[in-house]
Amino acid sequence: MKKPLIAGNWKMFKTADEAVSLAQGIKAGTYKNQDALVVVCPPFTALHAVCKVLQGSNVSVGAQNMHPETEGAFTGEISPAMIKDLGCRYVILGHSERRQFFHESDTFVNEKVKTALKYSLIPIVCVGETLAQREAQSHLTVVKNQFDVSLADLGKEDILKCVIAYEPVWAIGTGKTATPEQAEQMHAYIRRLLTEKFGAEVSAKIYILYGGSVKPDNIAILIEKPNVDGALVGGASLKTESFCAIVDGATEKCSAGAK
């Protein structure tokens, strides 16, 4: 059984001081919990301070994005070497807000995934369909294309170092969660794609997170689904109480042998 992985995406919220107090709260709220993998992804401006606060704790730090090049004339961008140097272990790649507002393509996401792996960063690769795509019944095809291109050219050793997050765009920040059945259908489909490409043994080890309006009161019914290994949490990760309640909720359900 895998420990649940709960990652908080703080998006463009929190000054450095605010981020430090949130990180301190989460560190205190999770220090006894050895049964979950906990990750927080603050904005770039707070990474240094949050990495210092969380050094040696149960909570790992991730960045929300990075450029695929190691260095160069890319004004305003941040490289994998830079985030690694600060102490980050994870990096979110291909979030739907990056795709939607910054026109990031699956090919660009794939370049980032490959460089992240070179720097021993664990990419959290996001996939997910829009409402129009779901209504047109094309959600499986859309996610398959994102999967195929974003994870192209990876071998078994590479994919074992990746996390996949299924985030239906219509559920992000809207308060509309996918039903546990909708989430499980897509997670099982992604698991099947992983099995076809990398074999059952590798596929079973890969974390597939669900993201989209996860809250303390819905984590239990999501995490009990067999292919939901954790959650990528936006809004509810911005408060210590709600984020720690999600971590505890997921841990209790998994420790109770619900899956």
Check residue 218 for interaction with ligand PEP (CB under 6 A).
Answer: no
Q: Determine the Cα–Cα distance for residues 99 and 101; give it in Å rounded to an integer.
A: 6
Say whether residue 234 binds ligand PEP (CB under 6 A).
yes
Task: Note whether 43 binds ligand PEP by CB under 6 A.
Answer: no
One DSSP character per residue, 131-183 reads: HHHHHTT-HHHHHHHHHHHHTTT--HHHHTT-EEEE--GGGSSSS-PPPHHHH
> What sign does the dihedral 235-238-241-247 (CA atoms) show?
positive
Catalytic: 167? yes
Instruction: Tell whether residue 29 is a contact of ligand PEP (CB under 6 A).
Output: no
- The footprint of ligand PEP on this chain (CB under 6 A) covers a number of residues equal to 13
**Whole-angstrom Cα distance, residue 54 to residue 57?**
5
172 binds ligand PEP (CB under 6 A): yes
Work out whether 214 is an interface residue with ligand PEP (CB under 6 A). Answer: yes
Cβ distance 186 to 142 under 8 Å?
no
- By CB under 6 A, tell whether 169 contacts ligand PEP: no
- Please pick, among 97, 104, 129, 167, the residue that the annotation labels catalytic: 167
Helix-then-strand count for the chain, H and E: 12, 8
- Report the nearest approach of ligand PEP to the CB of residue 218 (Å): 11
The CA-atom distances, in angstroms, between 99 and each of 19, 27, 47, 86, 107 are 25, 31, 22, 26, 11
Binding of residue 168 to ligand PEP (CB under 6 A): no
CA 177 to chain centre: 16
Q: Which is nearer to ligand PEP, 105 or 174 (CB)?
A: 174
Q: Which stretch binds ligand PEP (CB under 6 A): 109-117, 138-146, 195-203, 208-216?
A: 208-216
| Piece of the chain touching ligand PEP by CB under 6 A; list 77-85, 183-191, 200-208, 210-218 | 210-218
Q: In which element (H, E) is residue 97 found? A: helix 96-102
Which amino acid belongs to residue 42?
A: P
As a whole number of angstroms, the distance between CA 106 and CA 55 comes to 33
Nearer to ligand PEP, 230 or 235 (CB): 235
- Binding ligand PEP (rule: CB under 6 A), the pick from 143, 219, 233, 250 is 233
Task: Report angle CA 234, 84, 16 to the nearest 5 degrees.
Answer: 50
129 catalytic residue (yes or no): no
Q: Is 246 in the site for ligand PEP (CB under 6 A)?
A: no
Per-residue binding string, ligand PEP, 128-167, x by CB under 6 A, is ---------------------------------------x
Give me the active site residues, please. Answer: 95, 167
Task: List residues binding ligand PEP (CB under 6 A).
Answer: 9, 167, 172-173, 211-214, 232-236
